[in-house]
Amino acid sequence: MSSLAKNYNRKKISFTKGNGSFLYSTNGKKYLDFVQGIAVNSLGHANPHLIKAINKQAKKLWHVSNAFIIPEGEKLARRLTQKTFADSVIFQNSGAEATEAAIKVARRYFYSVGQPKKNRILCVKNSFHGRTLATIYASGSKKMTEGFGPKVDGFDHFQFGDHKALKKSITNRTAAIMVETIMGEGGIKVIPDWCLKEMRKICNQRKILLILDEVQCGIGRSGNFFAFENSKIKPDIVPIAKGIGGGFPLGAVLMNKKVASGMTAGTHGSTFGGNPLAMSVGNAVLDQIFKKGFLKNVQILSKYLHSELNKIKKEFPKIIKEVRGVGFLIGLQLFTDQKKFIQKLMDNHLLTIRAAENVVRILPPLTVKKKEIDLSIKIIRKVCSNYK
């Protein structure tokens, strides 16, 4: 009997070690891991550069309070701002904290410019922004909020893709639109570039802020550092987490100068957020992702994986409905419930994970090798061939 609460529906398997794209189970089997902690281990398991960085920092200094200057955090924030739209950063420990901080930054901005009633956030119905009280109500999901009342107010919703509803839902109380650039849990649904551009335009016209939740799709997963980059727009606020820590709990909210002005001393804080250990790991992750050619390689290999998956879709048009996603954030949408399919993949030593709308999520590490992609394709094709 487990002493853990039953809030997860766990598969009956555990692992002793990982190496790059592979996981080794306690019963001695080797699995190709295309879950990677749900887009967390961006550089795969047991990455030598990350191991070195965390060991080096662990011997020096783990934690000091944010009451003091933390040079490793100064460095990570500087690198994140030099390479992106952002002018400043607040570090957190997780995605939900980062999105919740994004909401606080948006509200605080309007408060600081004398418009405190402009405090509502417009979100996509059935999106995912985390599991804190505020972020579950931001999701507009009945399933996630059920039993957790009273409702946290301040969120309005529109259906994904419904521009008319989006425009109509904006009131003089709206502070920001908050969307995932690519919906992860919601089924790997990509907001097209023209749509991001349109959203930016609407935000400018209505003088509201644009928050793009890149917790899952950011940090190179799309083939660009941020998934919104191809659209050429600049958001105001971007929460990140998952991939930036490479497996170490780390989140952050990135923001432009305008909105950062509201976050004066004492307005927000976190005991653990931005501690030297986390910051050193974050810097080590960026060492790799910012390396010349790293993201180009993600683009090339992910294109290859998409094209191979599309071939399988053509071969099995009754099983696979659609190949979704960008870069290494991929969704294989099936015609029927995906649970059995995921189990069959696992029986054949390939780990994947579900998302909404019958989607099988395929999330290789960004360091995946071509021969590992070929192995995954072989397994997926085999499972399709025997699928009933």
Ligand X SMILES: *Cc1c(COP(=O)(O)O)cnc(C)c1O
Q: Which of 96, 263, 305, 373 touches ligand X (CB under 6 A)? A: 96
Consecutive H or E run containing 251: strand 251-255
Q: Which of 94, 126, 222, 367 touches ligand X (CB under 6 A)? A: 94
Convert 7-38 to b/e letters by CB count within 10 Å (16 or more is b). eeeeeeeeeeebebbbbbeeeeeebbbbbbbe
Q: Which of 33, 72, 180, 372 touches ligand X (CB under 6 A)? A: 180
Q: Which amino acid is at 283?
A: N
8 Å CB contact between 249 and 223 = no
User: Contact between 221 and ligand X (CB under 6 A)?
Assistant: no
Which one of 24-32, 41-49, 90-98, 297-305 is the stretch in contact with ligand X (CB under 6 A)? Answer: 90-98
From residue 133 to residue 172, the character string flagging contacts with ligand X as x (rule: CB under 6 A) and all else as - is: ----------------------------------------
User: Contact between 99 and ligand X (CB under 6 A)?
Assistant: yes
Q: Measured from the CB atom, is 94 or 231 closer to ligand X?
A: 94
Give the number of residues in contact with ligand X, rule: CB under 6 A: 15
Name the minimum Å distance from CB 358 to ligand X. 19
Which one of 154-162, 177-185, 273-281, 303-311 is the stretch in contact with ligand X (CB under 6 A)? Answer: 177-185
Q: Measured from the CB atom, is 23 or 355 closer to ligand X?
A: 355
Which one of 179-187, 260-268, 340-348, 352-360 is the stretch in contact with ligand X (CB under 6 A)? Answer: 179-187
Distances (CA, A) of 285 to 6, 18, 52, 130, 217: 33, 17, 12, 23, 16
User: Contact between 216 and ligand X (CB under 6 A)?
Assistant: yes
Q: Is residue 150 reached through a cis peptide bond, with omega within 30 degrees of 0 on the bond before it?
A: yes
Name the minimum Å distance from CB 124 to ligand X. 11
Distance CA 129, CA 214 (A): 10
Q: What is the largest CA-CA distance in the chain?
A: 63
Name which of residues 234 to 263 contact ligand X (CB under 6 A).
241-242
Which one of 22-30, 82-90, 178-186, 352-360 is the stretch in contact with ligand X (CB under 6 A)? Answer: 178-186
Three-state DSSP state, 372: helix
φ and ψ at residue 293, rounded to 5 degrees: 90, -10
Q: Measured from the CB atom, is 187 or 379 closer to ligand X?
A: 187
Distance CA 296, CA 294 (A): 5
Distance CA 172, CA 156 (A): 13
Distance CA 235, CA 250 (A): 21
Compute the CA torsion angle 155, 193, 143, 345 (nearest 10 deg). Answer: -160
Q: Measured from the CB atom, is 196 or 241 closer to ligand X?
A: 241
Distance CA 326, CA 34 (A): 15
Name which of residues 328 to 387 contact ligand X (CB under 6 A).
none
User: Contact between 184 and ligand X (CB under 6 A)?
Assistant: yes
From residue 186 to residue 215, the character string flagging contacts with ligand X as x (rule: CB under 6 A) and all else as - is: ---------------------------x-x
User: Contact between 174 and ligand X (CB under 6 A)?
Assistant: no
Q: Which of 128, 158, 248, 341 touches ligand X (CB under 6 A)? A: 128
Q: Which of 18, 37, 44, 130 touches ligand X (CB under 6 A)? A: 130
Q: Which of 114, 93, 122, 97 is CA-nearest to residue 202?
A: 122
Q: End-to-end CA distance of the chain: give it in Å, rounded.
A: 34
Distance CA 382, CA 232 (A): 40
Q: Measured from the CB atom, is 173 or 268 closer to ligand X?
A: 268
Q: Measured from the CB atom, is 238 or 312 closer to ligand X?
A: 238
Binding site for ligand X (CB under 6 A): 94-96, 99, 128-130, 180, 184-185, 213, 215-216, 241-242
